[in-house]
């Protein structure tokens, strides 16, 4: 399939964190839900950072950078921008005597979308507003990492096989002239939702365990690694089969100006015995030019017969929509 870059979007809702120092792998292994010790420079991973009760404080896309000239390991991660500074402060509290430095990078991530075009097998991505984007392989595999002098590209999950999405992390020496665009950002966020990729933001911190966000279904949780904050709760829910809530997708007719306030809002089930009681919450929301695209928390037992409404018992109807993977309610 021949592809060409169709858009480059400043992802101003995301921040890039960097972890460096000889103790970095061990430190991250003791903090995150995934197995950092198996990380390579070729593949990124999803992970959750939880409080001791197993509630998710952040979701991360984490990748290993090439070692420094001093052979010190370096990791970088994407997180929601509105929790980034607090996350750096909290994680730094647990560094103690470990040789680890944590900082928020000054650069911003760029979202690249590739669609059918007339290019060679290796997608030669041109400079966009002075940004050296390097080259991307035609063979697409989610979370694949491509490093080059201009920065790092990570393949983002996507729901349409005819297109590709990449997170591009510019080197700090680059100064892209791309301007933020709210409409383009909303389209990128919509693609995250269609791909079933959850992001914990400030409004939803400590609201969900990793399984409610489907992180165990999309390789964001390791059940064979050692301890991390909340690990006992996460493991118990897994091995006892007590995961009662999952993340589902839906759509609703909501004005675009209300989208930013939807994360964390309650949803209601009009068919419930208690229709005035919240039945779940909104995890993420974006607008696709016609309606709101939603990731929502739902009870597995209610999914088949529920009629969800947004924000209040008589709020906008949430129409169920599919995810690109199964949440397998029959096995939970």
218 and 127 both lie in a single domain: no
On average, the pLDDT of the chain sits at 90
On whether both 159 and 209 belong to a single domain, the answer is no
Which has the minimum average pLDDT: 211-215, 303-307, 319-323? 303-307
Residue 290 lies in a domain: yes
Q: What is the DSSP string of 236-254?
A: HHHHTT---EEEEEEEE--
Alpha-carbon gap, residue 286 to 309, rounded angstroms:
17
List all residues 6 or more positions away from 69 whose beta carbon is below 8 Å from its beta carbon.
none
Question: What local confidence, expressed as pLDDT, does residue 119 receive?
Answer: 43
**Do 95 and 19 contact (CB within 8 A), yes or no?**
no
pLDDT at 233 over 80: yes
Q: Is a pLDDT exceeding 90 seen at residue 180?
A: no
pLDDT at 120 over 50: no
pLDDT value for 68? 75
Best-predicted range by mean pLDDT (112-116, 135-139, 289-293) = 289-293
Candidates 19, 25, 46; CA nearest to 325 is 46
Same domain, 27 and 110: yes
Which residue did the predictor score with more confidence, 170 or 61? 61
For 186-198, how does the pLDDT look when each residue is reduced to its tens digit (9 = 90+)? 999 999 999 999 9
**CATH number of the domain to which 285 belongs:** 2.40.30.160
The answer to the question of residue 192 being in a domain is no
- How many domains is the chain partitioned into structurally? 2
pLDDT band at 166 (very low <50, low <70, confident <90, very high): very high
Q: Which residues pair with 78 in a beta bridge?
A: 16, 61
**Boundary residue ending a domain (179, 213, 236):** 179
Identify whether residues 252 and 218 lie together within a single domain.
Answer: yes
Q: Are residues 37 and 168 in the same domain?
A: yes
The answer to the question of residue 53 being in a domain is yes
Which of the residue ranges 23-27, 126-130, 264-268, 284-288 would you say has the lowest mean pLDDT? 126-130
Identify whether residues 144 and 34 lie together within a single domain.
yes
Confidence band of 3 (pLDDT split at 50, 70, 90): low
Answer with the one of 146, 179, 212 that is the final residue of a domain. Answer: 179
Residue at 197 is within a domain: no
Domain of 304, in residue numbers: 202-331
Residues 153, 287: one domain? Answer: no
pLDDT over 70 for what percent of the chain? 89
Do 162 and 17 have their domain in common? yes
Cα–Cα distances (Å) from 205 to 6, 225, 253, 284, in that order, read 34, 24, 26, 12
Residue 293 lies in a domain: yes
22 and 159: one domain?
yes
Residues 316 and 256 in one domain: yes
pLDDT in tens, 69-99: 788 999 999 999 999 999 999 999 999 999 9
């Amino acid at each position: 399939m021949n592809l060409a870059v169709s858009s480059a979007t400043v992802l101003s809702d995301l921040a890039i964190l960097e972890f460096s120092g000889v103790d970095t792998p061990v430190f991250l292994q003791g903090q995150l839900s995934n197995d950092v010790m198996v990380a390579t420079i070729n593949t990124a991973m999803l992970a959750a950072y939880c409080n001791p009760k197993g509630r998710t404080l952040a979701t991360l896309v984490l990748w290993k950078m090439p070692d420094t000239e001093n052979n010190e390991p370096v990791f970088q991660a994407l997180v929601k921008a509105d929790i980034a500074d607090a996350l750096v402060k909290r994680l730094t509290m647990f560094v103690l005597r470990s040789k680890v430095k944590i900082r928020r990078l000054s650069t911003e991530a760029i979202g690249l979308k590739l669609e059918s075009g007339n290019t060679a097998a290796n997608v030669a991505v041109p400079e966009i507003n002075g940004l050296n984007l390097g080259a991307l392989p035609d063979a697409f595999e989610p979370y694949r990492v491509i490093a080059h002098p201009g920065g790092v590209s990570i393949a983002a999950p996507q729901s349409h096989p005819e297109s590709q999405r990449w997170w591009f992390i510019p080197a700090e020496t680059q100064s892209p002239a791309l301007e933020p665009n709210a409409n383009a950002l909303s389209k990128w966020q919509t693609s995250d939702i269609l791909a079933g990729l959850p992001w914990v933001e400030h409004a939803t911190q400590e609201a969900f365990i990793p399984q409610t966000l489907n992180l165990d279904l999309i390789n964001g949780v390791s059940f064979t690694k050692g301890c991390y904050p909340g690990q006992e709760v996460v493991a118990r829910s897994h091995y006892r089969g007590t995961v009662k809530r999952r993340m589902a997708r839906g759509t609703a007719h909501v004005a675009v100006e209300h989208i930013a306030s939807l994360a964390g809002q309650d949803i209601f089930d009009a068919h419930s015995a208690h229709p005035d009681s919240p039945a779940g919450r909104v995890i993420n929301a974006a607008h696709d030019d016609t309606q709101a695209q939603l990731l929502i928390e739902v009870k597995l037992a209610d999914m088949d017969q529920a009629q969800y409404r947004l924000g209040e018992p008589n709020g906008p109807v949430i129409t169920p929509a599919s995810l690109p993977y199964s949440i397998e309610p029959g096995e939970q």
